[in-house]
Amino acid sequence: MKHITRAVWVLSLVSFFTDIASEMLYPVLPIYLKIIGFSILFIGILEGIAEATAGLSKGYFGKLSDVTGKRVPFVRMGYALSAISKPMIVMLAHPIWVFFSRALDRLGKGLRTGARDALLSDEATPETKGKVFGFHRSMDTLGAVIGPLLALIYLFFYPQDYVTLFYLAFIPGIIAILFTFFLKDKQRTTEKNCKKTGFFSFIKYWKESPQTYRKIVIGLLLFTLFNSSDVFLLLKVKQAGLNDTMVIGTYIFYNLIYAIFSFPLGIMADKFGLKRIFIIGLVIYAAVYFGFALNENLHVFYGLFFLYGIYAAATEGISKAWLSNVTDQKDTATAIGAYSAFQSICTMLASAIAGLLWYKFGSATTFVATGSIAIIVAIYFMLIIRSNGKELQTQ
């Protein structure tokens, strides 16, 4: 824990409590929306627009954080918006109000992501990025374990009392906001033209960014384009015979493995290279998806979800650490924000592609195609991304 500074601890605790709040509602949000009369189509449109809001705003606010030289205000306001959006959803059962509440939640995520990751990057050296981002990811995902567990326990004693659960989720959200007041901005150089920052100004960074950054992002986005929602994996085990409680339990198990291994794999990434650990993660991902295509045994599925947790731990935080190592410190929030914006668009398309493949050719084809793309991306990173200059720190 030598390189885990006070600021990293605070940011990790903020993410921990926020994820408890968000994941308490993750299993029940679709159920609640159906109860108040929303169709599956409307829920899909709602989530798609909400994610698009988060994605595009990540790029804009990341750029704004860099040009103003401020991090903490974006982090604090971002987490605050997400916290207040939780109880807002159930205050009024009207489509426009629900859409506004969900968009507010996603806007909060867009506000904070680039600035938060830039703060984490500032607390590390190129040799400790994996450890710092891995620790944060571990704490964040631990919240994703506790949140659904709390929801299951509450609903066991108070079945179908979803409205109260939304209000209860406000409590960890408030705790997260309070922790942000322990954060302080460091003095940094600002740009004079910050008032001219347009909503899509982060796109210009693509032309200005280092070549290595663009190469990495191209590979990451190709992978994201076929990396569909975890819902498809849960749907597969549901079809294999698990009941709803066991499906949620499987999701919790995956997040637990993810949380346990994120920090150790971050340490390994610093020692053996961020790129190497990321590629290993892609290979594990491919193995999992090939396994889902061929397997029908419930016990094997548990093993595959274990490996899926390892994959997530080896890629999620490490990808951001990798990107932050190949960009200038003054552009960190812009670089991560721009990537996150493009990633969100690809994520939306990914689920549509997976759904189409599943509908036309079946689940096995969907999983094989996705696993194959992961292998192609792993080969791309091995052949295209070479060691030179600053990039040497990422190998």
At 80, list the tokens.
């605050």
- The pLDDT value recorded for residue 100 is 86
What count of other Cβ atoms lies within 10 Å of the Cβ of residue 284?
20
Q: Report the chain (395 residues): mean pLDDT per 10 consecutive residues.
A: 89 96 84 75 68 78 89 95 93 83 88 93 91 95 94 88 93 96 79 58 83 94 89 83 81 94 95 94 97 89 95 94 90 90 85 85 91 96 64 43
Q: Which residue has the tokens 């991902």?
A: 285
Q: Which CATH architecture has domain 6-183+202-388?
A: Up-down Bundle (1.20)
Contact 47, 102 (CB under 8 A): yes
- The pLDDT value recorded for residue 29 is 80
What count of other Cβ atoms lies within 10 Å of the Cβ of residue 231?
14
- The pLDDT value recorded for residue 43 is 66
Q: Hey, what long-range contacts does 14-17 have (CB within 8 A, 24 or more apart)? A: 14/75, 14/79, 14/176, 14/179, 14/180, 15/116, 15/136, 15/139, 15/140, 15/143, 15/176, 16/139, 16/140, 16/142, 16/143, 16/176, 17/143, 17/172, 17/173, 17/175, 17/176, 17/179
CA 23 – CA 16 distance, rounded (Å): 11
* pLDDT tens digit sequence for 112-148: 999 999 999 999 998 899 999 999 999 999 999 999 9
- The pLDDT value recorded for residue 391 is 42
* pLDDT tens digit sequence for 237-283: 888 887 777 888 888 999 999 999 999 999 999 999 999 999 999 99
Residue 277 CA neighbour count, 13 Å, CB half: 30
> What ranges do the domains of the chain cover?
6-183+202-388
CA 120 – CA 3 distance, rounded (Å): 11
